[in-house]
Amino acid sequence: MRQGTVKEQELIERIVSQYLLLSLAGLAGAAFVAVALSGAVQAPEVGIPVVDSPWPPSAVERMERYGEYVVRIWKSLDEAAPSFYRVVTVDLGDARLVCVDWATGLGKLSGQDIDGSGHPNVIIESYSGGAHCCFATFVYDLAETLLPIDLPASPGGNAAGEFVDLDGDSVFEFRTCDDSFAYDYCCFAGSPCVPAVLVYDSGQRRYAPKSYAYPELYRDPIRLDTEHAKLTLTGGGDAGWDGTPKCDVLPLVLDYLYSGDPEAAWDALETYYLFSDRDAFRAEIEAVLGASPYFATP
C-alpha cells in the first residue's frame, strides 16, 4: 500500500475506465458486467471498503489529505444506489481507521480544527434514508493518533446539525434541534423540534448539551411559539392524537426549558394548556427530556 498523487491519479483513471467498460458491458450482457465489477472491487492497493451493502462502493468520488491522513468518499456505480449513498474512509498509511457506511459526505468544516486541539478534524455526515430517519454526524480529531469525539445522535433521528462557533472562541459548538417528541402527540410536521446546542468538552472529548448557555437563541422561537400557544385559548389550535392541543403548547414550554427558565416553562403550560391531564403531561415532558442526550439543566 502506498500514498502518492501519481498512484491516486492512476487509480481514478482506472476506475473511470472501468466505469466506461461497465457502461459498454451493459450492452454486452449481465455476465460481462459481473466480471468487470469484480475486477473493480478487487483492486487491492486502493483498499476499496468492504461494507454489507446492496451497492458495494467502487469509485472514489473525492479524496482529501488532512496532514498524514487520507479521507476518501466512495460511491457505488450501481444505478440502483440512492443518490445520497456514500461510504467514507479515513486511512493513515496502510491502516484503515474509519469506515462509515450510509454516509452522505463530509461536513463543510472538515479539515479545519473545530475543537481547538491544533489538529484538523474530519466530520462525516450520514443519513440512512427513509422517511425522516436517521441523521448522524461523526467527528474525529486527526492528531498523532486518530481520536474519536463523542457526539450524541439526534434522539428521534430526524434532525441534522451544524458546527458553528457561537461565542467566537474558535471552538465550534454543534447547533441542532431536539426531536424527542416527534409523533408523540401529533403528526411529524406538527411536532416540536426545539433548538439545541451542544458544546465541546475537551477533557472528556465529547459534545455535551448546554443550550441554557445561549438563551438569546430562544428569543425568536419564544415570541413565535407564544403566538401559537395563544391560539389554544381561542380554539384556534390544532388538535393532536388525543384531541388536545399539546403540540400547540409544547414548543413554547420546551423553548423555556432549553433556555434555562423552567419557571417560565411551567407557567406557560399552566396558562395555555387547560386540560385535566396537565400534570400527567408535565410528567411526560420531564421524563422525555430526562432521557434526551440533547437536554441539560444549568
Phi (first) and psi of residue 270, to 5 degrees: -65, -35
Say which amino acid occupies 179.
D
121 binds Ca ion (CB under 5 A): yes
Q: Please state the closest distance from residue 169 (CB atom) to Ca ion, in A.
A: 4
Contacts of range 13-20, beta carbons closer than 8 Å, 24 or more positions apart:
14/43, 15/40, 15/43, 15/58, 15/59, 15/60, 16/59, 18/58, 19/59, 19/77
Q: Which stretch binds Ca ion (CB under 5 A): 97-105, 171-179, 211-219, 284-292?
A: 171-179
Examine residue 110 and tell whether it contacts Ca ion (CB under 5 A): no
Q: Are strands 121-127 and 95-106 parallel, antiparallel or unpaired?
A: antiparallel
Stretch that binds Ca ion, among 41-49, 101-109, 137-145, 264-272 (CB under 5 A): 137-145
Single residue of 91, 115, 225, 248 touching Ca ion by CB under 5 A: 115
DSSP H or E segment with residue 196 = strand 194-201
Considering only the stretches 86-94, 157-165, 182-190, 247-255, report the one whose residues sit in contact with Ca ion under the rule CB under 5 A: 157-165
Q: Is residue 169 a contact residue for Ca ion (CB under 5 A)?
A: yes
Residue 181's closest CA among 158, 209, 211, 212?
A: 158
Q: How far is the CB of 122 from Ca ion (least distance, A)?
A: 9
Does the footprint of Ca ion cover residue 213 (CB under 5 A)? no
Grid cell 385559548 in the structure block, residue: 233
Does the footprint of Ca ion cover residue 91 (CB under 5 A)?
A: no
Measured from each CB, the residue nearest to Ca ion is 117
CB 203, min distance to Ca ion, A: 15
Q: Which helix (H) or strand (E) holds 146?
A: strand 146-149
Q: Which stretch binds Ca ion (CB under 5 A): 1-9, 48-56, 108-116, 286-294?
A: 108-116
Q: Does 165 bind Ca ion (CB under 5 A)?
A: yes
144 binds Ca ion per the rule CB under 5 A:
no
The kind and range of the H/E element at 33 are: helix 30-42
- Interface with Ca ion includes 119 (CB under 5 A)? yes
Q: Quick one: which of 10, 13, 68, 167 contacts Ca ion (CB under 5 A)? A: 167
Q: Which residues pair with 150 in a beta bridge?
A: 206
Does residue 186 have a cis peptide bond before it, meaning omega lies within 30 degrees of 0?
no
Q: Is 33 in the site for Ca ion (CB under 5 A)?
A: no
Which residues lie near Ca ion (CB under 5 A)? 113, 115, 117, 119, 121, 141, 165, 167, 169, 171
